[in-house]
Amino acid sequence: MPATPSIMPYALVRPLLFKLDPENAHHLTLNTLRTLNNWGLDGFIHKRVAECPVEVMGLKFPNPVGLAAGLDKNGDYIDALAAMGFGFIEIGTVTPRPQGGNPRPRMFRLPAAEALINRMGFNNEGVDTLVANVRRARYRGILGINIGKNATTPNDKAIDDYLYCLNRVYEHASYIAVNISSPNTKNLRDLQSGDALNSLLSALRMRQLELADQHDRYVPVAIKIAPDLEPGMIGEIADLLAYHRMDAVIATNTTISRNGVLHLPGAVELGGLSGAPLVSRSTEVITELSAALAGRLPVIGVGGITRGTDAWNKLEAGATLVQVYSGLVFRGPGLIGDVADACQYYYEQNPDKRVFKRVVPVTAEAPETAGDPATAEGAPATAAPGELAISLDEPDQPQGVAPEQATDSAAEAAPAALRSDTSPRQP
């Protein structure tokens, strides 16, 4: 797998950036990229990367290397980032209302481990600002928008925040990522399990189909999960995601573990750890998740990618797409080409995996009260791209029921053993 030279002499720039506060360096870098882009000096940042088209979620990606959420929270830098060669870009996390996040300092480098610790806390200018920025952007490639809840919103009202953001970003996104796994918003990760997850997924799916019917356009929804999951949770999450016909899962977010870095200065800072120390655990989660999903929906692999082989390993573990973020801080923009080369080589060896084909096994019937979204009547005749237009909505849903009421009943009715889709699906 040949290495791709850096777009700019990052080895010379990095020591200067590392003399700055990490958050200040972050903004300086992005503002510089945007200025170069605005002045038409794209040659300083543009780099042709390996062409490796893949098809996932009904979307055609020019290459499988994406930018993970968090780098561009408000969509301020979309066009500049697009010039770097990404196959897709994910912006956010964005919340319904603006919020400042946690107090500074809130981002820390562990250079010896090629790692970052952050406790940003979903700092963003609110979904209305993000939507305005997306409208102004010239980029017409694949754009993911990552949505979250405000810190002041209690978990029992979290669904309202997610649905509000879903409504606002739907027509502007290629896909929508739902962040329920950041360790920096109190109790957010509780939404990953049990009735809370079931209720959220049910509400998201119902609203997704309503919006697809309204806009005559299906926008996939992906759920982003944490690496710090209790035994058995991955299987439970996989079954719920498949049952509610989510379109993808993003694995993983940052970790609260400090395995392998506790001896380093700054490692005791609170927050999520990302970068090289996360790579093994995130790949383990992808392996277990892929086995549990058994092809029922695709996995987007993220966490600790600092070289091409890390991406290769995630594809081998079952991911179809990969994302990078922290690795860019330590390796520079040349990492994008390295990862794209590795992905190209992988897909040359595995050409049958270039198009994700969702497996739809036939299993035992779920209880009728579960409201199987794959068999309900009266749903909007809207399907994912390449999918047969079948009825997918929840059955017998009274008109005018508030989202929290509808999802509470769905949570109570959720079966212990969920069955997967029984409808044919073509990516």
Are 4 and 331 spatial neighbours (Cβ–Cβ below 8 Å)? Answer: no
Count the domains in the chain: 1
Are 158 and 138 spatial neighbours (Cβ–Cβ below 8 Å)? Answer: no
Give the relative orientation of helices 194-215 and 233-243 as an angle to the nearest 10 degrees.
Answer: 30
* Interatomic CA distance for residues 179 and 201, integer angstroms: 12
Are 205 and 379 spatial neighbours (Cβ–Cβ below 8 Å)? Answer: no
What domain range includes position 32? 10-363
User: Dihedral of CA 144/32/324/320: which sign?
Assistant: positive
Residue 393 counted as domain residue: no
Residue 382 counted as domain residue: no
Residue 417 counted as domain residue: no
* Interatomic CA distance for residues 76 and 31, integer angstroms: 9
Residue 298 counted as domain residue: yes
Residue 275: CATH number of its domain? 3.20.20.70
Residue 259 counted as domain residue: yes
The burial class, CB within 10 Å (0-12 / 13-18 / 19+), for 108 is buried
Residue 198 counted as domain residue: yes
- The predicted pLDDT at position 71 comes to 98
Has 420 been annotated as catalytic?
Answer: no
Residue 50 counted as domain residue: yes
From first to last of the 427 residues of the chain, give the pLDDT tens digit. 444 444 458 889 999 999 999 999 999 999 999 999 899 887 676 667 999 999 999 999 999 999 999 999 999 999 999 999 999 999 999 999 999 999 999 999 999 999 999 999 999 999 999 999 999 999 999 999 999 999 999 999 999 999 999 999 999 999 999 999 999 999 999 999 999 999 999 999 999 999 999 999 999 999 999 999 999 999 999 999 999 999 999 999 999 999 999 999 999 999 999 999 999 999 999 999 999 999 999 999 999 999 999 999 999 999 999 999 999 999 999 999 999 999 999 999 999 999 999 987 655 333 233 344 433 333 333 445 444 333 333 333 333 333 333 334 333 333 333 333 323 222 3
Residue 24 counted as domain residue: yes
The residue annotated as part of the active site, out of 6, 181, 182, 199, is: 182
